[in-house]
Amino acid sequence: MPKLDVERIRKDFPMLNEKMNGNPLTYLDSGATSLKPRQVLEAIDLYNTKKTANVHRGVYAIAAEATELYEGAREAVAWFLGAATPREVIFTRGATESLNLVAMSWGMANLGPGDEIITSELEHHSSSLPWQNVAKHTGATLRLAPLDKDGRISLEGLESVLSDKTRVVAITYVSNVMGYISPIKQICELAHKKGAIVSVDAAQAAPHLRINVQELNCDFLSITGHKMLGPTGVGALYGRWELLNSMEPVIFGGEMVQSVDLLGNTSFKEPPYRFEAGTPTIASAIGLKPAVEYLEGVGLENIHTHENELIKYAVSELKKHEGISIYNESSDTGILAFNIDGVHPHDMATVFDASGICLRAGHHCAQPLMKWLKQPATLRMSAYIYNNKADIDALVRAAVSGKEAFINGVF
């Protein structure tokens, strides 16, 4: 399998030509949002400058072309996820909206007192909070699948809380803090034996892993465009057709109705249009297609291998220096969580900023996991296809110099 040609890839990302605080930009925050290649920017620009029209409405030529571009993006995402049909792909504003749609539509209609919902301490808030809300309003009970000693979701931990009362398992595919990959296929098998549905948060998985929803046999899976080289403001929800077709919309408006009667006898279109009320994020959705094509062109397997090499290198280099705590040395993707002993990560982030290095500091929208780690916050490096060992070297230099500066009272 050919290795990534990182230097060629870097030429496709205009932002890497920028500087920050007078230094060459070292972008290590792709877990928050990825950079966008020129192919994505050009697709958005094409719609905004030459193909601007609303979709599914106008009968004039440009409107038809815009609709074709929009639906072509849906077909590309469906193919990318291995969906049986594009009708199983709903465009949303991102993974957060996708996860909330499942909870608000399926959850509110199907859960009640005595039912149980399983999540974990590894979840991003957008995966767990919608189900907290459902539990609050329906009387269902939330249960947590315990993590193993490394902070991973294990099948043994899941089995310890699964029961005949379990109706939903809402679980992350890849942790946004630890970079761990969950055994989703096996989780789906266990949940389905209990008659439960599985809603997968794949926001951090889609940029890195080959996903086939039919092989995973999941019921719902949510992704977001901006973490996988695509635009902000757009994501997608995959749902099994029979489930989507049984669900009621939660947002109402134009273009999602079959017929409207002011006395309430209104009927709705079939999915996905039932769940796409109003004018969608057309330009951003169109930008998802070249993002998917770019990832396929590079190869998801190659991306995963490249990230693992960078993580191993980063761990090796950081461990050469005392006073640096790493919380996920066995990360499965390009995410590394660490702290400089005795220095708050927010303070340390200012050192990285001064050196032109972008990385995240905080609780990463995963406060239960921070409690599990017994840390108020962490630094998080998240490498991607355009990063190289020089970026890791810059990170390590800044970490070491920053640590020494705080020890010597410079800051």
- For the annotated catalytic residues, the residue numbers are 365
Instruction: Say how far apart CA 106 and CA 264 lie, in whole Å.
Output: 22
Check if the beta carbon of residue 203 is closer than 8 Å to that of residue 223: yes
Q: Phi/psi zone of residue 90: left (φ > 0), alpha (ψ -120 to 50 degrees), beta?
A: beta
| Distance set, CA 131 to CA 110, 114, 146, 169, 237 (Å) | 12, 15, 17, 10, 16
Is the bond leading into 272 cis (omega within 30 degrees of zero)?
Answer: yes
Q: Give the contacts of 134 (CB within 8 A, at least 6 positions apart).
A: 103, 104, 107, 108, 111, 117, 140
Q: Are 129 and 100 in contact (CB under 8 A)?
A: no
CA distance 248 to 274: 8
Q: Please give the backbone phi and psi of residue 21, each rounded to the nearest 5 degrees, phi first.
A: 55, 35
